[in-house]
Amino acid sequence: MAEMSKNYHRYGVPLYGAAWVPLHGIRSRLKGGARPDDAVAADDCGYLVLAGGGGSEGRCGIPNGVLIAEFDFGSGSLSQRPVAELCTGSDLPYRIAVHPQGDGVVCALPKGCRLLEWVDPDHTLGLKMSAKVLGQLQYAELLLALVFSHDGSLLAAGGEDGRLMVLKWPSMDIILNEARAHSCLKDLAFSLDGKFLVSLGDSGPCRVWDLTSSVAVASLPDENGETFQFCRFSQRSDGTQVLYVTALKGRGVSILTWNTSSWKRIGSKRVGCDSVDAFNVSADGKLLAVGTGGDIVILNSTGLKTQTVVKKAHLGFVTALAFSHDSRAIVSVSMDSSATVKHTNTDGGSRLWLIICIVLLAIAAEFIRSWGLFL
């Protein structure tokens, strides 16, 4: 059972968002430069931002807030209690976007967005409310998608009303403001170079936006009754970018692959699940993860073959998935208030071949010795 594992803990509130803390970037910003032991610290432990709560006005008695938990990569242990907490009062933080270079956390609340600033990690890593006003996002209600570009220079947001906004960071100048990008906007993804943004609604095609000209340049159609759910860009081993889109059709789920030059569909692979509640791709492009019910399915990007299935990782359905920055681990959270972190073992294949080579060399050496071929 997951409850008996050291990499699984309950934090007392339903969890809706999860992300890894860019500790190196935070220290660089707060101290004006990285410390010599930053690399060592990054190898030893990682920190997680978890967001959740009981809803508006705290009527159910469950508080709303943002938590920070610690994960020890060496022992595979997740902290039993948060190392820091920030209460958000009656406002439920249901979406978060962590700036990749350590410039805070943008938190989507029912009545608008707020910026959370990092507290000096040399003392106690934590968060505090910022006085910075987030432009039009300050009062944007019911956002369903919130994401930074990979270099942190852009922030995109979209919500139930279908409006799509892309803003420069940190100036909050708007470069794209589309009132009806979709009937209801559900997911967003920046290309790795920040040139394109893909938006996805509750029905119909994905739309591809050129962020230089701020116009839609392609529409990625659904076929034969598909319903698109999530989208993520990734990079293949040859350096080319691809776009992955999860699609539900009937009682089956497929992961679709699109060429990012021609915007043509180039692949479709059925995966062994009936629904997709969360989806993400590792930074190194080697792995994809699907949250389905309380299970987690991790696939290898080569052929989209299933690498690992974690049955009953959570008792409730998975609400968010996030790979660590070095792709060594993945965190998942659930409405049942639990978080779990699992090593991905992306180098497992290399280790296996090393073990096989050692065994073969030992057998060969024993054969040569037994036949007296050594002088």
Token representation of residue 310? 């974690």
Residue 132 has pLDDT above 90, yes or no: yes
Reply yes or no: is the peptide bond before residue 110 cis, omega within 30 of 0.
no
Q: Using CB atoms within 10 A of its CB, is residue 136 exposed (0-12), middle (13-18) or buried (19+)?
A: middle
- CB 91 within 8 Å of CB 110: yes
Give 224's pLDDT tier (boundaries 50, 70, 90). confident
The tens digit of pLDDT for each residue in 243-287 reads: 999 999 988 999 999 999 999 999 999 998 889 999 999 999 999
What's the one-letter identity of residue 148? F
State residue 45's pLDDT score. Answer: 83
State residue 247's pLDDT score. Answer: 97
Angle at CA of residue 334, ends 305 and 134, nearest 5°: 105
Residue 314 has pLDDT above 60, yes or no: yes
Region 156-179: what's the mean pLDDT? 97
- Min mean pLDDT across 73-82, 129-138, 214-223, 341-350 is at 341-350
**Alpha carbons 323 and 328: distance in angstroms, whole number:** 7
Per-residue HEC secondary structure of 179-201 comes to CCCCCCEEEEEECCCCCEEEEEE
Token representation of residue 191? 């290309």
Whether the model clears a pTM of 0.85, i.e. scores above it, the answer is yes
Region 24-33: what's the mean pLDDT? 78
Q: Give me the residue label for tokens 């681990």.
A: 329
Region 359-375: what's the mean pLDDT? 61
